[in-house]
């Protein structure tokens, strides 16, 4: 799962993960998240998700995303009729407009100074995009980037991994507990059977599929 894999997916418009509307779990559960009014929200591995626009315009949050594909960054702003300010800063190219900033570059090059303060996180599809060895590295990086342990709305998929090669990969609760449980309390907000509405997974031979939505809050 290297840089070129994802850049090729964007170049060839293989964007099965992208939703044209706001994620329903975000709509349902973000109002319950303990994120302060006007708090800054981080969306890792953001692509061009419309969720960032919703968080900025409908909820009033400054938003910062990180995305490896410059094509995705430019398409996000173009699709919302925005002309971003663009500046090169260290390892990243920064695109900013209308309360949304996208840092274009490798997530694993990100540091606290480049990211800035964060009051909440929406982590929709980053984990399921990564194989197991990279998920451990990703979780360590998130802990380093977020020493204040802001609340996280976290979305994963669960299915028998042996039935299909990812991405998207299966992520089950024991792994979430192992990688996040020391720093965070994990609360299940929704565990939803979505197999019947997922023909692509059925065609791949997957026999069961669930969406799992967590709220992560810092341990005392």
Q: What is the pLDDT of residues 138-174, one digit of tens each?
A: 999 999 999 999 999 999 999 999 999 888 999 999 9
The span from the CA of 51 to the CA of 134, in Å, is 24
pLDDT in tens, 106-128: 999 999 999 999 999 999 888 88
The pLDDT value given to residue 11: 59
pLDDT of 89 above 50: yes
Partner residues linked to 191 by β-bridges: 212
Three-class HEC string of the chain: CCHHHHHHHHHCCCCCCCCCCCCHHHHHHHHHCCCCCCCCEEECCCCCCHHHHHHHHCCCCCEEEEECCHHHHHHHHHHCCCCCEEEEECCEEEEEECCEEEEECCHHHCCHHHHCCCCEEEECCCHHHCCHHHHHHHHHHHHHHCCCCCCEEEEEEECCHHHCCCCCCCCCHHHHHHHHCCCEEEEEEEEEECHHHCHHHHHCCCCCCEEEEEEEEECC
The pLDDT value given to residue 2: 61
Q: Which CATH number fits domain 119-220: 2.40.37.10, 3.40.50.150, 3.30.70.360, 3.40.50.300?
A: 3.40.50.150
Taking residues 8-19, report their average pLDDT: 56
pLDDT of 105 above 70: yes
For residue 56, the tally of other CB atoms under 10 A from its CB is 19
Q: Where does the pLDDT of residue 18 fall: very low under 50, low under 70, confident under 90, or very high at 90 and above?
A: very low
The pLDDT value given to residue 5: 61
pLDDT in tens, 40-71: 999 999 999 999 999 999 999 999 999 999 99
On whether the CB atoms of residues 40 and 102 are closer than 8 A, the answer is no
120-123 and 152-158 strand pairing? parallel
């Amino acid at each position: 799962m290297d840089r070129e894999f994802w850049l090729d997916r964007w170049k060839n418009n293989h964007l099965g993960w992208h939703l044209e509307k706001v994620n329903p779990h975000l709509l349902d559960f973000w109002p319950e998240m303990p994120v302060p009014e006007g708090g800054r929200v981080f969306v890792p591995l953001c692509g061009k998700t419309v969720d960032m626009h919703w968080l900025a315009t409908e909820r009033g949050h400054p938003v910062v995303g990180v995305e490896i594909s410059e094509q995705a960054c430019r398409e996000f702003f173009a699709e919302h009729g925005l002309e971003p300010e663009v500046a090169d800063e260290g390892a990243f190219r920064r695109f900013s407009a209308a309360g949304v900033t996208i840092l274009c570059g490798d997530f694993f090059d990100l540091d606290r100074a480049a990211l800035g303060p964060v009051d909440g996180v929406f982590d929709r599809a980053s984990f399921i995009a990564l194989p197991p060895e990279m998920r451990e590295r990703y979780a360590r990086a998130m802990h380093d980037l977020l020493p204040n342990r802001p609340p996280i709305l976290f979305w994963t998929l669960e299915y028998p991994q042996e039935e299909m090669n990812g991405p998207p990969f299966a992520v089950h609760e024991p792994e979430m507990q192992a990688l996040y449980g020391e720093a965070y309390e994990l609360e299940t907000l929704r565990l939803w059977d979505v197999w019947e509405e997922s023909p692509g997974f059925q065609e791949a031979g997957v026999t069961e599929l669930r969406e799992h939505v967590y709220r992560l809050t810092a341990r005392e």
